[in-house]
Amino acid sequence: MRSVAVVGASLAGLGAARALRAQGFDGALTLVGAEPHPPYDRPPLSKAVLLGTAGPADLDLCDPADADLAAEWRLGVPATGLDRHRRSVLLADGTEVRADGVVVATGALPRRLPGPPLAGVHVLRTREDAAALRGALTSGPRVVVVGGGFIGAEAASACAALGLDTTVVEAAPLPLAGVLGAEMAAHCADLHAAAGVRLLCGTGVARLLGTGRVRAVELADGRRLPADTVVAGIGAVPAADWLAGSGVAVADGVVCDGGGRTSVPGVVAVGDVARWRTPGGSVRAEHWTAAVEQPAVAVRNLLAGATVAEYRRPPYFWSDQYGVRVQFAGRRAPGDTVRVVEGDPAQRSFAAVYERAGAAAAVLAVDRARAFTRLRRTLTA
Ligand SMILES: Cc1cc2nc3c(=O)[nH]c(=O)nc-3n(C[C@H](O)[C@H](O)[C@H](O)COP(=O)(O)OP(=O)(O)OC[C@H]3O[C@@H](n4cnc5c(N)ncnc54)[C@H](O)[C@@H]3O)c2cc1C
């Protein structure tokens, strides 16, 4: 393999470039990125950036050693196609990058609320999204956050810390119940109320009201919530449209084996865009740690031309909200027995283990980092 193109120049893409060099690849390396910025970190966007305690310079992922990557950076130019026969990545500016190997690391795009675009309606994925939302929050608006998942909860938490009138709307009976199970999700839902944030569950958004600028959110049950700013935290879709017609199989993410190899030889996929086969089924992780850890495995397989390594770590993510850190690792399934093993949910500090057939299947901690680290090891084992 004489040349590799990494498409998507963010967390997973940078990790792939580093892994290629670390594993001895000394051919031509090109990183293609749709955004004009060098790789930056996204988790602070919904936390410190909204609070105004971090700015763009604090997000940089590159360090001085990355100069040794000797890579060609094609930033601000999205890839528009992959021609597997010519082994070439086509770019929006009409140029192409010829490459024997391709790493797909194009991440995900935020889902948007249906309807015509209205001023005051925000998503949160990029530096620009966070800057725009932060700007809107400084004028003291009434905020409605649509979606009570992690990004919605973090945005609501930042709004509450800024003293804003904040409502979270969640279509499901309880936010995060699918991930954490109803009992533990209820403890996380309590965090909203404790911070003075209204949480409205079990009703979706019917439409946004306003001409040119959002004025209110109308719920499916007819209620109208006045809003100056709306944040859509309703998930993200894999950025894989550019692969249409390439032969790379896509089904809610680029379909990969347990080592990141796709249906096309010489093409691997990593990070939020990738759906890897795991012992628990096929999973698109959408977590920072997976985007950091998958590239070394995928690159090894790319260079070997075969699946010689698989990624087997249980999924892990964290979320910082309302002054506590929520951490979760493993895979919960319906029917798991969940036990609080340390602390007290009423005190907003506890660790819980999900058990299946007598073994730990997942671990949750709220503001209990040391217990979490200890319990997580039992999962890995
Ligand atoms: C606001 C926010 C907060 C988060 N907080 C946490 C957290 O607390 N904990 C946690 O575990 N995870 C968190 N995450 C998730 C974590 O940031 C992601 O899992 C991680 O960014 C995935 O990295 P990635 O490189 O796969 O994708 P991305 O970071 O999405 O990067 C993909 C890159 O590819 C580019 N791209 C897209 N299409 C093309 C194309 N056609 N051609 C070229 N380039 C393209 C994109 O512009 C982007 O720069 C958060 C995510 C967000 C958005």
Pocket lining: 12 vs ligand 1, CB cutoff 6 Å: yes
Decide whether 112-232 matches 323-380 in CATH topology.
Answer: no
- pLDDT > 90 fraction of the chain, expressed in percent and rounded: 96
Q: 210 alpha carbon to ligand 1 midpoint, in Å? A: 31
Q: For the domain made up of 323-380, give the CATH fold.
A: Enolase-like; domain 1 (3.30.390)
Q: What span, in angstroms and rounded, lies between the C-alpha atoms of 199 and 189?
A: 8
- Name the DSSP class of 60: B
pLDDT recorded at residue 57: 84
pLDDT recorded at residue 163: 97
Which is nearest to 220 in space by CA: 277, 171, 275?
171
Section 5-28 average pLDDT: 98
Q: 345 alpha carbon to ligand 1 midpoint, in Å? A: 31
User: Domain-by-domain residue ranges, the chain?
Assistant: 3-109+236-304, 112-232, 323-380
3-state secondary structure (DSSP) of residue 233: coil
Whether the pLDDT of residue 372 is over 90: the answer is: yes
pLDDT recorded at residue 279: 81
pLDDT per residue over 200-234, tens digit each? 999 999 999 999 999 999 999 999 999 999 999 99
End-to-end CA distance of the chain: 36
pLDDT recorded at residue 364: 98
Which is nearest to 104 in space by CA: 291, 267, 333, 215?
267
Q: Report how far apart, in Å, the C-alpha atoms of 16 and of each of 101, 196, 268 are.
A: 12, 42, 10
Mean pLDDT of the chain: 96
Q: Report how far apart, in Å, the C-alpha atoms of 249 and of each of 40, 215, 273, 349 are.
A: 28, 42, 12, 43
347 contacts: CB under 8 Å, gap ≥ 6: none
Strand-strand pairing, 274-278 and 254-256: parallel
Whether the pLDDT of residue 363 is over 90: the answer is: yes
Q: Is the dihedral of CA 120, 123, 129, 135 positive or negative?
A: positive
| pTM of the shown model | 0.97
125 burial type by CB count under 10 A (0-12 exposed, 13-18 middle, 19+ buried):
middle
89 burial type by CB count under 10 A (0-12 exposed, 13-18 middle, 19+ buried):
buried
Q: What span, in angstroms and rounded, lies between the C-alpha atoms of 2 and 29?
A: 9
What CATH number belongs to 112-232?
A: 3.50.50.60
Pocket lining: 34 vs ligand 1, CB cutoff 6 Å: yes
Q: How confident is the model at residue 56 (pLDDT cuts 50, 70, 90)?
A: confident
Whether the pLDDT of residue 159 is over 70: the answer is: yes
Q: What span, in angstroms and rounded, lies between the C-alpha atoms of 330 and 314?
A: 5
197 burial type by CB count under 10 A (0-12 exposed, 13-18 middle, 19+ buried):
buried
Which is nearest to 318 in space by CA: 254, 280, 367, 246?
367
pLDDT recorded at residue 281: 86
Section 233-244 average pLDDT: 98
Section 361-369 average pLDDT: 97
pLDDT recorded at residue 186: 96
pLDDT per residue over 254-298, tens digit each? 999 999 999 999 999 999 999 999 887 899 999 999 999 999 999
Pocket lining: 16 vs ligand 1, CB cutoff 6 Å: no
User: What is the arrangement of strands in the sheet containing 254-256, beginning at the earlier edge strand?
Assistant: 254-256, 274-278, 281-283
Section 136-150 average pLDDT: 95
- 127-137 vs 150-161: helix crossing angle, rounded to 10: 40
Pocket lining: 287 vs ligand 1, CB cutoff 6 Å: yes
pLDDT recorded at residue 380: 65
According to DSSP, the residues that pair with 275 across neighbouring strands are 255
Pocket lining: 238 vs ligand 1, CB cutoff 6 Å: no
CATH assignment of 3-109+236-304, given 3.40.50.720, 3.20.20.100, 3.30.365.10, 3.50.50.60? 3.50.50.60
Q: What span, in angstroms and rounded, lies between the C-alpha atoms of 325 and 332?
A: 19
Q: 109 alpha carbon to ligand 1 midpoint, in Å? A: 8
Nearest CA to ligand 1 atom 27: 107
Whether the pLDDT of residue 381 is over 60: the answer is: no
Tell me phi and psi for residue 165, to 5 degrees.
-70, 110
Pocket lining: 293 vs ligand 1, CB cutoff 6 Å: no
